[in-house]
């Protein structure tokens, strides 16, 4: 039986993620009474703060990043009272004794959230294990990146497994905490309308787009060593693909759902060079403002891709012959994450002789910035039809904030932190999933290297290289822009 943690240990407690997401999420959970009164939060990082200094730091972060409607003075003061802090240099094993003493004041299970540089993972985990912070009910949440390829990912996973068993290892992909992503399961498996049609017989193709308007935004050191394929496709986009393509799980639990996801990831067909396009943005304009090119932001030439488009296939009975088009990039015209399910045309249109065109249905699942589900259906245009019967696409929209006006919208980390505290692994990524993702991505990178492919230029503010359009058009597909 899983025991609720009564101590949350935050590594990287003064970092950007902690300020923007972790502290605001924990404060929101506290304000709504979703974490028990006895839970304490211990932050640790290199900064030489004491408890009072960290509370001041957290207060400033919450004033900046916590939404205005959550700025309740009494609730914030009570939340800050939960916080304590212990400085730590994770490369110095001796420092963990003081951290353990700080945490030791709170008996019970510890939920550790590790948001540090990947180079610190192994010494941090070793320090936790050596000083009693990996007890029988203790668990660890790991923020990406979990390696840069399959070999480095296995090395990290091996280090984690030497201290924390798989059942107490929670690999975080924050996309899985988004409401609309979770709604994929409800949409598919809670409605008889969709699941019988969710296959190659009725679906022509699938598009998954993750578009960003930003450039490097302070991530120079990490991004140039990663690129779009490893930064976005290997984790977020392949998780979305797996949720779209998975078979119905026998039950709603972590094992059943993750078993079905990993089957999809292992069924991905190896990509050829002709099935991928890479790009790198040059100077242009986004939202009417001039922006520099990638090399200018970086300060040197680079072959790192900031855009990638892929034509993938899941080789199993359900999806045989259905292309999955994946597209992600920086400095694109819009910030948008969406999934498009393009259904096939009706096999015979009874309206053709009357001059009417029946277009195929399309399901659009918006994930960010707007959470919505839209379905295009054909409807007759009102009129007497003396000049011919006319059909028109009509959009049936479910906008999440409107459909659930009485429910509080929560950011992904609120759900994920609460699940980590309570020990529910359903929305976290299992080791075999991560390694299946890396195996597929590594093969793509080897193909690029063997073909000598380098990124094509695209103007910032455009939808990527023109070759990405050609990738889709060769399959008689147009990107949903």
Task: Point out the annotated binding site for NADP(+).
Answer: 46, 144
- CA dist 97 and 421 (Å) reads 23
User: Which residue in the block uniquely carries the two structure tokens 């192994």?
Assistant: 122
* Catalytic status, residue 30: no
DSSP state of 66: S
- CA dist 282 and 456 (Å) reads 10
Annotated binding site: 46, 144, 174, 178, 212, 231, 330
DSSP state of 187: H
Nearest to 354 by CA among 321, 381, 323: 381
Nearest to 183 by CA among 415, 365, 428: 365
DSSP state of 302: -
**Catalytically annotated residue among 30, 131, 205, 236:** 236
Whether 242 and 232 have beta carbons less than 8 Å apart is answered as no
Structure tokens at 278: 């890479």
Annotated binding site for substrate: 174, 178, 212, 231, 330
Whether 152 and 215 have beta carbons less than 8 Å apart is answered as no
Helix runs in 299-411, H state only: 400-403
Q: For residue 114, is it left (φ>0), alpha (ψ between -120 and 50) or beta?
A: beta
Whether 439 and 186 have beta carbons less than 8 Å apart is answered as no
Q: For residue 206, is it left (φ>0), alpha (ψ between -120 and 50) or beta?
A: beta
Whether 347 and 202 have beta carbons less than 8 Å apart is answered as no
DSSP state of 331: S
Whether 438 and 447 have beta carbons less than 8 Å apart is answered as no
Residues designated catalytic: 236
């Amino acid at each position: 039986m899983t025991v609720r943690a009564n101590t949350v240990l935050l590594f990287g407690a003064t970092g950007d993620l902690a300020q923007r997401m972790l502290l605001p999420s924990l404060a929101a959970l506290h304000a709504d009474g979703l974490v028990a009164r006895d839970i304490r939060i211990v932050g640790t990082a290199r900064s030489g703060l004491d408890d009072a200094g960290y509370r001041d730091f957290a207060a400033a972060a919450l004033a900046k990043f916590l939404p205005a409607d959550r700025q309740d003075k009494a609730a914030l003061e009570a939340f800050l009272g939960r916080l304590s802090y212990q400085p730590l240099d994770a490369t110095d094993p001796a420092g963990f004794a003081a951290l353990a003493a700080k945490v030791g004041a709170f008996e019970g299970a510890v939920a550790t959230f590790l948001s540090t540089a990947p180079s610190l993972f192994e010494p941090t985990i070793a320090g936790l294990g050596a000083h009693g912070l990996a007890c029988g009910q203790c668990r660890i949440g790991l923020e990406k990146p979990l390696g840069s390829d399959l070999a480095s990912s296995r090395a990290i996973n091996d280090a984690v497994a030497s201290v924390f068993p798989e059942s107490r290892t929670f690999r975080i992909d924050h996309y899985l905490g988004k409401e609309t992503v979770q709604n994929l399961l409800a949409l598919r498996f809670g409605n008889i309308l969709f699941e019988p049609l969710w296959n190659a017989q009725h679906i022509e193709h699938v598009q998954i787009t993750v578009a960003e308007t930003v450039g490097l935004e302070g991530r120079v050191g990490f991004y140039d060593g990663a690129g779009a394929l490893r930064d976005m496709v290997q984790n977020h986009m392949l998780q979305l693909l797996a949720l779209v393509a998975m078979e119905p799980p026998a039950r709603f639990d972590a094992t059943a759902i993750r078993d079905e996801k990993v089957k999809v990831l292992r069924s991905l067909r190896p990509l050829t060079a002709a099935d991928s396009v890479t790009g790198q943005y040059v100077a242009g304009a986004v939202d009417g403002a001039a922006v520099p090119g990638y090399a200018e932001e970086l300060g040197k030439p680079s072959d790192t891709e900031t855009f990638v488009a892929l034509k993938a296939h899941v080789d199993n009975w359900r999806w045989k012959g259905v292309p999955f088009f994946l597209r992600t990039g920086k400095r694109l015209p819009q910030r948008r994450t969406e999934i498009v399910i393009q259904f096939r045309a009706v096999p015979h249109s009874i309206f053709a002789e009357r001059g009417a065109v029946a277009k195929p249905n399309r399901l659009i699942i918006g994930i960010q910035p707007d959470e919505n589900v839209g379905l295009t259906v054909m409807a007759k245009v009102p009129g007497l039809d003396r000049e011919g019967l006319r059909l028109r696409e009509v959009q049936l929209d479910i906008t999440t904030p409107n459909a659930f006006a009485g429910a509080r919208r929560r950011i992904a980390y609120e759900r994920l932190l609460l699940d980590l505290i309570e020990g529910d692994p359903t929305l976290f990524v299992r080791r075999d999933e991560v390694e299946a993702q890396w195996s597929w991505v590594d093969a793509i990178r080897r193909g690029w290297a063997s073909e000598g492919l380098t990124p094509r230029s695209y103007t910032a503010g455009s939808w990527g290289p023109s070759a990405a359009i050609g990738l889709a058009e060769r399959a008689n597909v147009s990107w949903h822009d």
